[in-house]
Amino acid sequence: MSLQLVLLIKNIVGVSWKSVFTVDEKEREKNVAETYEGLQFLENEIKEKKFFGGEELGLVDITAVYVAYWIPLVQEIAGLELLTTEKFPNLYRWTQEFVNHPIVKESLPPRDPVFAFFKGRYEGLLASK
């Protein structure tokens, strides 16, 4: 099951990224819908567990760093609601547990410069539209 989740996360990374950095509205809507499908699968997998493997961080959690750290960042940049506590309460709870885990917290890049960089890229994309 871990390999299946890792492959699903890889797909979520691609379609959620395209949801933000695609100017074509129909393509964006398609990518948002596909992102929701993947996130719903993860929501059903995590259920009430602290991490995907149980009480300890594991491979799936580490692979899902994009879901926990990057999706909230890029959805804020683009004004999308991909991963919210209302739509995916268990997955959202997991993201908070994950990014606040001491080992993960010290390993993530600082949010502000990353946000500024991708916000600039997003605004440049919109300006070229």
Amino acid identity, position 67? V
Q: Which two tokens stand for residue 10?
A: 């890889």
Q: Mind listing the pLDDT tens digit for each residue in 9-58?
A: 888 888 988 888 888 889 999 999 999 999 999 999 999 899 998 999 99
Going from the C-alpha of 77 to that of each of 61, 102, 123, the distances in angstroms are 24, 26, 9
Q: How many helices (H) and strands (E) does the chain have?
A: 8, 0
Q: Is the dihedral of CA 5, 42, 98, 19 positive or negative?
A: positive
Predicted local distance difference test score (pLDDT) of residue 62: 92
What's this model's pTM, rounded to 2 decimal places? 0.88
**Average pLDDT of the chain, as a whole number:** 91
Give CA 31 to chain center in angstroms. Answer: 13
Domain ranges for the chain: 2-128
Give CA 64 to chain center in angstroms. Answer: 8
Q: 83-113 burial, b for 16+ CB within 10 Å, e for fewer?
A: beeeebebbbebbebbeebeebeeeeeeeee
Q: 2-128: what CATH class?
A: mainly alpha
Q: Mind listing the pLDDT tens digit for each residue in 69-104?
A: 999 998 999 898 999 999 999 999 999 999 999 999
